[in-house]
Chain A
Amino acid sequence: MTGFGPNLEDFEPGDLVRHGRGKTLTPVETTTLTHLSMNTSDGHFDAHRYSQTAWGGTMVFGGITAAVVIGLSMEDTGAAAIRELGVRDVRLCAPVADGDTLYAYSEVVSIEPRDDRSGEVVFRHTGVNQRDEVVFTCERRVLVRRRGAG
């Protein structure tokens, strides 16, 4: 596992990056992931009913929005994770519609060394849509491996 980075030593508080890839949320995927998560709210999968409401169609389950924004950041933030510790102050700031495209930003908030093998990194993630509107923010705590540590 030592081949995967970035490692603890590669992060600096204040580092802010926009991750290279974006992702368009297609209805097939978002409804599949909604059902996989056992979410029974039909606002995520009854396009006919919700096309007749003020929403104008189905909206993406916030659990999927969170996973996609954090996922878009994962190779650059958590590839050398020992484990994910948690998230806090998760704000689903604006609705995400099926068909929207999400992009992710990450900022290093703090780094706290724990032992010879790892330290805790707090990231602030921001997810924006194709119109650059912020749809998601959170802080995420990850236990990240030191370089060369098994």
Chain B
Amino acid sequence: MSDLGDARRLVRGYRYADFTPGRRFDHATRRTVDRSDSLLFSATTLSLCPLYFDAEAARADGHPDVVVNPYLVLALVVGLSVEDLSEHSEAFLGIGEAQFARDVYPGDTLRAESLVESRRASASRPGFGIVTWQTTGLNQREEVVLRLSRANLFEVPR
């Protein structure tokens, strides 16, 4: 048996220097959302809108089933982009704008793609930089369900 101390630590994801504005990322992992995902998320976040809990109420409103909580869709589309974009960042700073373009229903499969929007040195924190991306969430029919722009803080290696 080799010495475990000799093992290389495998680390995934891209770094600050890789985020040239205009570069595109097609995030490989997709995720089928099922009813229990949305129920767990909605219940634990107290998201008390009947569209997310009550299939009869959702159908009465013209939906085929309960609606997947849009804030799960937001967390999930960001989540699917994290391995490529922000595992090496210091902090998720915020979202410029997120638009829920289309409802998501149980059984839909979501994927995400991103475009580097900007990269700049932090004005307030020397040695740090801020990257912004536009990320798009799409369903199995390639219909856009969510568009968002987000910003993360990175430590910039000297």
Contacts and interface: CB of A to CB of B under 8 A. Distances in A.
A64 B46 contact: no
Given A39-B82, A85-B99, A33 B44 contact: yes
Interface in B44-78: 44-51, 57, 60-61, 67, 69-72, 74-76, 78
A41 B86 contact: yes
A79 B47 CA distance: 9
A88 B49 contact: no
A141 B105 CA distance: 21
A122 B97 CA distance: 13
B156 to A, nearest CB: 17
B157 to A, nearest CB: 17
A56 interface: no
Interface string A74-113: 1100110111111111111001000000000000000000
Contacts of B69: 67
B21 interface: no
Interface in A44-96: 61-64, 66-68, 70-72, 74-75, 78-79, 81-92, 95
A64 B75 contact: yes
A88 B150 CA distance: 10
Given A40-B83, A40-B87, A70-B71, A91 B94 contact: yes
Interface in B81-131: 82-83, 86-87, 91-100, 103
A92 B49 contact: no
Given A85-B99, A86-B99, A92-B94, A39 B47 contact: no
Interface string A117-135: 0000000000000000000
A15 interface: no
Contact of B98 (A38, A83, A88): A88
Interface residues of A, number: 44
A90 B41 contact: no
Contacts of A74: 46-49
Interface in B9-63: 12, 29, 31, 37, 40-42, 44-51, 57, 60-61
A17 to B, nearest CB: 15
12 contacts: A33-B41, A33-B45, A36-B41, A63-B75, A63-B78, A64-B45, A66-B74, A74-B49, A79-B48, A79-B50, A84-B100, A90-B95
Interface of B: 12, 29, 31, 37, 40-42, 44-51, 57, 60-61, 67, 69-72, 74-76, 78-80, 82-83, 86-87, 91-100, 103
